[in-house]
Chain A
Amino acid sequence: GQNIDQPTEMTATEGAIVQINCTYQTSGFNGLFWYQQHAGEAPTFLSYNVLDGLEEKGRFSSFLSRSKGYSYLLLKELQMKDSASYLCAVKDSNYQLIWGAGTKLIIKP
């Protein structure tokens, strides 16, 4: 079967750095996406990785290791507005997105 694993919940302090991990087992791999979802809202796109390595976009970075079936999202200089769920999704051999359950990130002042 196909499986995406992420921690259910994480807590971090404003101004700090947090790393959210995602491991996957899917039938094929055509890219990995990270989305942000605030409570009661729709998911919004954060990043896309298809090759191994780090993609940096402002305070957010995403890393991929295809051989390990592993990715992480790194958030720097945390702000209160970063409190949200972070969803990891993998595009499988049929080019459909398989979604993890999401990691709820709680930021404390």
Chain B
Amino acid sequence: IAGITQAPTSQILAAGRRMTLRCTQDMRHNAMYWYRQDLGLGLRLIHYSNTAGTTGKGEVPDGYSVSRANTDDFPLTLASAVPSQTSVYFCASSVKGENNEQFFGPGTRLTVL
């Protein structure tokens, strides 16, 4: 793989179910991020990780959890999905630094019914 990948591409999920969105990058970037993008709103940061083994909360962390066991993978878990978590989810990565751009995965479109 080259760059950053996400799986699944899209998913329809019943409310109350558990779901893990996968994200993998092969660029050896230190930092990784999870965003959600909703119509009319900017990208909102859910969780981030500055380096393997550490994670932090973003603007909208409630209902989500992450782990960073290694440099490449950064899964996002919805423990018990709710309809308000219907969104497009983007994973991103960057080299740690002030002016370093973030590279985005193709996104996962999640619908919670």
* A binding-site residues for B, Cβ under 8 Å: 4, 30-31, 33, 41-45, 48, 50, 87, 89, 91, 95-102
Contact = CB atoms under 8 A, between A and B. Distances in A.
Contacts of A91: 98
The 3 closest A-B pairs by CB, nearest first: A99-B42, A42-B104, A45-B101
A42 B101 CA distance: 14
Which of B41, B42, B90, B103 is packed against the most chain A CB atoms within 10 Å? Answer: B42
Contacts of B44: 99
A55 to B, nearest CB: 11
A51 to B, nearest CB: 11
Contacts, number: 45
A45 B3 CA distance: 14
Contacts of A33: 101
**Range of interface residues on chain B?**
10 to 19
B43 A43 contact: yes
Contact of A101 (B41, B98, B104, B106): B41
A95 B98 contact: yes
B99 A31 contact: yes
Contacts of B105: 42
A94 B40 CA distance: 25
B34 interface: no
Interface string B66-101: 000000000000000000000000100000001101
A81 to B, nearest CB: 19
Interface string B25-38: 00000000001000
A31 B98 contact: yes
B58 interface: yes
B102 interface: yes
A98 to B, nearest CB: 8
B45 interface: yes
Contacts of B35: 99
Contacts of B40: 101
Contacts of A50: 98-99
